[in-house]
Structures are given as C-alpha cells and as structure tokens.
Amino acid sequence: MTQWIDACATDDIDEEDLITWEHDGHVYAIYNTEKGFFATDGMCTHEEQSLADGLVIDCVIECPLHGGRFDVCTGKALSAPVSVDLKTYDIKVENGRIYVDTQ
C-alpha cells in the first residue's frame, strides 16, 4: 500500500546533493540529480555509515567512509567495498514539496 509522506521542499536540496530525512525511526536519503529527485535508504549497506556527507556526482552517491558507490536511481551497488544494493523509494513532487512512499 502506498504511503506518501511529506519529507521536504525541493529547495531544501541543492543540485547534485542530498539530504537525509528521518521518519518513524528510519533514515532516508533524498537526492537532487540531473535526472530528478530520488530516494534511497540513508545508511550505507557496507557499514553503519550515514550517506549524508556523501558526494553526489551525476546519479551516483559515493559513501563518505570507504568510497563505495551506488546508483541513486536504482540503488545498485557499483563499486567495492559495497556489494549490497540500497533500497529505493518512490517519490513524487507536488507544489514544491517532495513526498516519499515509505512503504
């Protein structure tokens, strides 16, 4: 079942950047990329590291701890040491607000 939750304003995220957003005890990462807005889990799948300070280049997030990279559109793990994909979440943008489907 879809559950759209108002997460932030589109203006809250700089281009080629991300913010982390906590809801119901879960941390999400929301990205502003050249292909639009995307959401994934906010913690790296390698170790318990927040992606908040990660580097966004095109549609790739680089983990700040060991430099593992993920495709933010698909969540796919792209380079060592990460091998487990990030979970992704649907997003919709309405009236300048970003809603995340947290289900």
Nearer to ligand FES, 41 or 99 (CB): 41
| Residues between 35 and 64 that touch ligand FES (CB under 6 A) | 44, 46-47, 49, 63
Q: What is d(CA 56, CA 14) in angstroms, rounded to the nearest whole number?
A: 11
Nearer to ligand FES, 46 or 97 (CB): 46
Nearer to ligand FES, 44 or 98 (CB): 44
Rounded least distance, CB 71 to ligand FES, Å = 14
Among 82, 86, 91, 98, contact with ligand FES (rule: CB under 6 A): 82
User: CA-CA distances (angstroms) from residue 90 to 2, 3, 23?
Assistant: 9, 10, 15
Contacts of 96 (CB under 8 A, 6+ apart): 9, 10, 11
The two counts, helices (H) then strands (E), for the chain are: 0, 11
Q: How far is CA 81 from the centre of its chain?
A: 18
Which residues make up the interface to ligand FES (CB under 6 A)? 44, 46-47, 49, 63, 65-66, 68, 81-82
